[in-house]
Amino acid sequence: MQFSNDADLYKTIGSNIKYYREKAGLTQVQLAELVQISISYISKIEASGCTKSLSISVLNHIANTLNVDICDFFVRR
């Protein structure tokens, strides 16, 4: 999968995190607590205009917490 710019990449990742978080029935607060990151960080990641980068380690922890394959975060919906 290729992204034309970082904004498209972050938007895709953020919207997929939100999708899988909601599918798991979790709030941003609950996910933040489970992943041990701040609520504002989750909120910024999920925001449609997000330009905040995140580490692979955090992304992996979110994927594990939501029980999804990390690759699912890169799929355009």
Q: How far apart are CA 23 and CA 8, in angstroms?
A: 22
26-63 pLDDT per residue, tens: 999 999 999 999 999 999 999 977 777 789 999 999 99
SS3 2: coil
- Note the pTM of the prediction, 2 decimals: 0.92
Q: What is the 3-state secondary structure (H, E, C) of 31-63?
A: HHHHHCCCHHHHHHHHCCCCCCCCCHHHHHHHH
Q: How far apart are CA 34 and CA 77, in angstroms?
A: 25
Band of pLDDT at residue 68, cut at 50, 70 and 90 = very high
